Amino acid sequence: MFTQVSRVLLGLAAAAVGANAEDVLGVFIFHRHGDRTARTRQPVKLSALGANQAHSSGTFYRDRYIVSGADFQVRGLSPEIADLSQLSVTSPAEPIIQSSAQAFLQGLYPPTYTSDFLGDCTEVEAPLNGYQYVPVGAVKNAATSKDGCPSAETSSQSYFSSPQYLGMLSQTSEFYDRLAPVVGTSMSKDEVNFRNAYSVFDLINAARIHNSSVPFEDRLTDDNMDRLFRYASIQQWNLAFNESDPARAIAGSVLGGQIVDSLGAIVDGERDAPLMSIQFGAHDTFMSFFGLSNLTKASRDFYGICNCASSMAFELVTNATGPSKPENVGVRFLFSNGTASQNELTAFPLFGQEQTLLPWSDFKRKMTEFSINDDQAWCELCGNTDGRCAALLALGNNSDDKNDPENDPKNKSSNGITKTIAGVIGSVVTLAVTAAIESLLMLCGGYRLVNKSRLTRLSSSDTSLG
């Protein structure tokens, strides 16, 4: 829980900003999945509680950004019937996260009764009371994990040989030994230690939520539960972020690039730029981004693992009337630790600054310092040299030829990306669109997309299910 002092001070700042006549031009939301069963017990399932958390969060954001007359209604966003050209919803192909996205969207755009008259005057009613089919793009490059990024995986694994880790492993051994009986047969006694701090916390926490009784429950005092959470947070933070090693926070860097690209398209007035972009993921991406954006200066609570159904929103706003110019646009960051319907969505200052509303130019500049928004930058940071990365890196190595037309500024777009790179990125976008269509088929046709290897893999450093 964030400190009361921080909430009061930042709440006053947000209220001062809100006092002006302000229009919301667009929003980017990153959302954690809802409550689920423990990762150590396969298959992992989204619980009824988790589905309700995601759904109520969707309803909250509908009331904030979509319904007619809302204080923060996004300018031009369809208030009743989902306009798919205005929305971009993505998620990795993980059943828990995809299911959370679907539950969220049911709250964001609930069923609306519709019917059609056929040529023979027969009236046909839409199923499920007019259920609105908003596709969720199942994309591999969503900011969810370090999969496929060797440098990031190596960086995280190096934490397990660091003096900090070895010290925590030794200092906490007796504590975990005392709690080993609580875990029972779900984990061996040798696995109940700081190396698996998140898995231990996750298992015990899930048991307390869903079971009427837990073995050796008398050992789960408030102090011990606090310590379990604190140790899990320390372990996960160090696996997700390291100030001296950018590769470790690859998930946050990719997310940062997606945020800038999404909001930038609106600022630049790009045709059919989505007004609302929503991405779903796991808690480690939150941690990576918190570290990169220095949110821990605003509150030390950002070091902790965020609750299920937590969300952060980036509001693109202006006080100008009529068409907005970049110099009249600002960005506000807000965060809810848990489902937003029950936990206040609060504005916090990014990048260690004081103000919660940043000019677009400042926001973009600070985000660009750590963001990754093209394949070549990703390949270079991750150290990938095969497949698509091989072609991109070869292209980069040929930049010494000054007569290469690709190096001519005239052949570059406004953001400095060459037309060749733009073509590669265009291919990636095409794949994402294809994935969105596949998601629609899953919704309408009952198809399922399951990555079995990721469902069965469990290690202390794997937080793909958050």
What distance in Å separates the CA atoms of residue 174 and residue 180, rounded to the nearest whole number?
A: 10
196-233: b or e for each residue (b if 16 or more CB lie within 10 Å)? bbbbbbbbbbbbeeeeeebeeeeebeeeeeebbbebbb
- How do residues 321-380 score in pLDDT, each as one tens digit? 767 789 999 999 999 999 999 999 999 999 999 999 999 999 999 999 999 988 888 888
Q: Is the peptide bond before 43 cis (omega within 30 degrees of 0)?
A: yes
Predicted confidence (pLDDT) at residue 24 exceeds the cutoff of 90: yes
pLDDT value at position 42? 82
- How do residues 255-283 score in pLDDT, each as one tens digit? 999 999 999 999 999 998 999 999 999 99
As a CATH number, domain 4-146+248-368 is 3.40.50.1240
Helix, strand or coil for residue 401? coil
Cβ atoms within 10 A of the Cβ of 297, count? Answer: 15
Question: What are the φ/ψ torsions at residue 421 (nearest 5 degrees)?
Answer: -65, -40
- How do residues 419-459 score in pLDDT, each as one tens digit? 444 443 344 434 443 444 344 334 334 433 333 333 333 34
The alpha carbons of the chain give a radius of gyration, in whole angstroms, of 23
Domain positions in the chain are 4-146+248-368
Beta bridge partners of 335: 312, 346
Are 347 and 14 a contacting pair, CB within 8 Å? yes
- How do residues 140-165 score in pLDDT, each as one tens digit? 655 555 678 899 999 999 999 999 99
Are 277 and 143 a contacting pair, CB within 8 Å? no
Here the tokens at position 343 are: 């936990």
Q: What is the pTM of this model?
A: 0.81
- How do residues 205-224 score in pLDDT, each as one tens digit? 999 999 888 888 899 999 99
- How do residues 170-213 score in pLDDT, each as one tens digit? 999 999 999 999 998 889 999 999 999 999 999 999 999 998 88
Here the tokens at position 133 are: 């089919």
For residue 435, which amino acid is it?
A
- How do residues 296-311 score in pLDDT, each as one tens digit? 999 999 999 999 999 9
pLDDT value at position 321? 78
pLDDT value at position 13? 40
pLDDT value at position 295? 97
What distance in Å separates the CA atoms of residue 87 and residue 218, rounded to the nearest whole number?
A: 48
